[in-house]
Amino acid sequence: MKCPYCHSTRTRVIDTRSDSAGNIRRRRRCQDCGKRFTTLERPVITTPLVIKRDGRREPFDREKILSGLRIACARRPIAADELERLVDRVEYTIRQRGRTEVKSKIIGDAVLDELRELDEVAYIRYAIVYLGLQDLEAVRREIDRIRSLHR
Give the model confidence (pLDDT) of 50-98 as tens digits.
999 999 999 999 999 999 999 999 999 999 999 999 999 999 899 888 8
Mean of pLDDT values over 98-109: 93
Contacts of 31 (CB under 8 A, 6+ apart): 8, 10, 11, 12
Q: Is the Cβ–Cβ distance between 74 and 65 less than 8 Å?
A: no
Question: Band of the pLDDT at 44, cuts 50, 70, 90?
Answer: low
In degrees, rounded to 5, the angle at the alpha carbon of residue 48 between the alpha carbons of residues 44 and 51 is: 150
Q: Report the share of the chain in percent with pLDDT over 70.
A: 98
Give me the residue spans of the domains in the chain.
11-41, 49-149
* pLDDT tens profile 49-59: 999 999 999 99
